[in-house]
Structure 1
Amino acid sequence: MWTWFIAHLNHVHLRWSSLAAMAAAVWTLYAADRLLDALSPTSETLEARHHFHSDHRAGFMAGIAIASVLLAFLLPGIPEQAIRLYLVLGGLVFGYFVIIHVVGSAHRLPKEIAVGVCFASATFIPTVARDPALRIPLLPAALLLAALCSLNCLFIYAWEHPQPGAQQPHPITALALRHLAGLTVIVLVISTGLTVLDHGVSVFLHAALALAALALLLVHLRRHQMERVELRAAADLALLTPLLMVPFL
């Protein structure tokens, strides 16, 4: 959705194959990450989503195989420049998986922040690959989306780990966890300021970012009235704000 939204605002036409490839790749990475998490020997750190993936491992493995075949089929329809950028990003994501799941050094990497940066990068690649002149103009929005995606992960981590566990998070993650509300307010203020100052099509992009930051903050303020699984769903729902912009495009 974000990939289509960013491209549409900047008059960049994306083939259906690019959007389908994005959906398949993101779902595959998400499912693989959960399946690898479920192999962890410390079952007390696992949440309902991990147990669900573990209980339906065969189905998810079949889904990953199908998605991989689909990606191979869609690859020829993706521009060469976008593939180059995705290869660079893919190398970083592969390194992330090795550090987290193979080496077992999750505490040495600010995982939630890395996920936010990788997600935002993948979202903007289809647009900037087709129109490199947009790289600088879209950089503020890309940084704000990366911050929002990281905040999404950090809020979920904070809600699921109200008490510090045996394994401490990365120092950068721990610092961000202590200032979650303040960081979200900063993203909200910057996004709102850019919305007010922008007189072009990016006003819708900045408005969607501002609304997402506000929604995350409101969910956090109501965290004591909601169950963990509801909080997690609400945190992801907060990032669907581009849908509110569609009627105005």
Structure 2
Amino acid sequence: MKLLDEVLFAEASESESRLAEARNSPLVLWHLLSLDAPMVAVVWTMFTARMTHTAVPVATGVAMGLAVWLLYAADRLLDTRALDPLGEPGEFEARHFFHHRHRAAFGVGMAIATVGLALLLPRLASDSIHLYLTEGALMAGYFVLIHATPLRGGRRRIALPKELMVGPFFAAATFIPTVARNPGLRLSLLPDAVLFAGLCCLNCLYIYAWEHPQPERDAHWTTHRAVRRLSLLAGGLVLAAAALALRGEWLYPAAVGLSAVGLMGLDEVRGSMARPALRAAADAVLLAPLVLLPFWIR
């Protein structure tokens, strides 16, 4: 027991130094507050709509941001339940400690966000709500699988790892407002959706590789293989984006390609960046559509 207390104390001390960086870095604070994923979701949602000339109201973007923030904040708070009893300190990062420390404030924020989301629901297209309910049911099942499955060796054994499941869910959410209002675009947008899902998975895999220099023995076999081939996967995604751009609609694949190149660049300089800053930057490079803003706001 004494040894475990010492480990927890050491981990807490390390987390203090990680969190201290947030006071001087808006980028890290943006990440610790779980604002990174919602912003990425909103940007790609509106980018997809604008690219296809689909009229998606601002309320849809706001609702998307609130829903994604609720999801990510809840996931991190659920992850840190093991910090209350004597849990597994080694699997936590700065974002987990931050959420655990400020869990009361996050609880209030989540309550306010839930009310705001409920008020916005009547403004959303009914087809969008139906599609989101279907996706939400699948996601809820996966959440239960993650957080209700007993830990084995410090990790949960699941059919597919989070690193590969986040991509399809996240990509689908950003395309739903557009395809709900314009169902005829479903097939034509499928290649773009697959490309973006691949980018989201690549983002998660890079983050996993940075946070686990030596992947756990009981990590999922797909994660083990993927993190050993990240450069190959990223290069393949860039080539796929370039090939897709040749069909004429270049804007969306260009944004995906820019983001993938950004992840590859971060991987090259990872040794010079603190973990929270690196994690925040990994999401920041997914904001590539903003770099192309002059081309899609015309």
SS for the counterpart of 1:137 is helix
Work out the CA distance in 1 between the residues paired with 2:117 and 2:75.
18
Confirm or deny that 1:223 pairs with 2:270.
yes
Work out the CA distance in 1 between the residues paired with 2:143 and 2:208.
18
Matched to 1:224, the amino acid is: G
1:193 maps to which residue? 243
From 170, 182, 185, the counterpart of 1:131: 182
2:117 maps to which residue? 71
Say which is worse superposed, 34-43 or 220-229, in terms of deviation.
220-229
CA contact (8 A) 2:256 2:288 kept: yes
1:178 maps to which residue? 228
Confirm or deny that 1:158 pairs with 2:200.
no
Work out the CA distance in 2 between the residues paired with 1:5 and 1:59.
32
Larger radius of gyration: 2
Matched to 2:269, the amino acid is: R
Work out the CA distance in 1 between the residues paired with 2:260 and 2:206.
12
Confirm or deny that 1:116 pairs with 2:193.
no
Shift of 1:165: 3.1
2:219 maps to which residue? 169
1:62 maps to which residue? 108
1:236 maps to which residue? 283
Say which is worse superposed, 104-113 or 14-23, in terms of deviation.
104-113
Task: Note the alpha carbon deviations across 1:35-68, whole angstroms, 9 max, x for none.
Answer: 0111122112111110000000000011111111
Work out the CA distance in 1 between the residues paired with 2:208 and 2:186.
31
Say which is worse superposed, 41-50 or 52-61, in terms of deviation.
41-50
Work out the CA distance in 1 between the residues paired with 2:225 and 2:187.
29
CA contact (8 A) 2:149 2:157 kept: no
1:38 maps to which residue? 80
Work out the CA distance in 2 between the residues paired with 1:20 and 1:36.
24
Confirm or deny that 1:9 pairs with 2:30.
no
SS for the counterpart of 1:39 is helix
**Could you list the runs of 5+ residues in structure 1 that have no partner in the other structure?**
none
Structure 1 104/67 Cα, relative in aligned 2: closer, same or farther at 3 Å?
Answer: farther
Work out the CA distance in 1 between the residues paired with 2:74 and 2:188.
34
Confirm or deny that 1:49 pairs with 2:105.
no
SS for the counterpart of 1:169 is coil
SS for the counterpart of 1:162 is coil
Work out the CA distance in 1 between the residues paired with 2:65 and 2:215.
34
Task: Note the alpha carbon deviations across 1:127-158, whole angstroms, 9 max, x for none.
Answer: 01111111111111101111111111111111
Work out the CA distance in 2 between the residues paired with 1:232 and 1:77.
34
Structure 1 123/104 Cα, relative in aligned 2: closer, same or farther at 3 Å?
Answer: farther
Work out the CA distance in 2 between the residues paired with 1:22 and 1:213.
23
Superposed CA RMSD: 1.2
TM-score by length of 1: 0.95
Say which is worse superposed, 24-33 or 80-89, in terms of deviation.
80-89
Shift of 1:170: 1.5
Confirm or deny that 1:208 pairs with 2:255.
yes
Shift of 1:30: 0.5
Q: Size of the alignment, in residue pairs?
A: 245
TM-score by length of 2: 0.80
SS for the counterpart of 1:241 is helix
Shift of 1:188: 0.4
**Could you list the runs of 5+ residues in structure 2 that have no partner in the other structure?**
1-42
Task: Note the alpha carbon deviations across 1:156-211, whole angstroms, 9 max, x for none.
Answer: 11100102336x2222222211211111110001101222x132xx3111110111
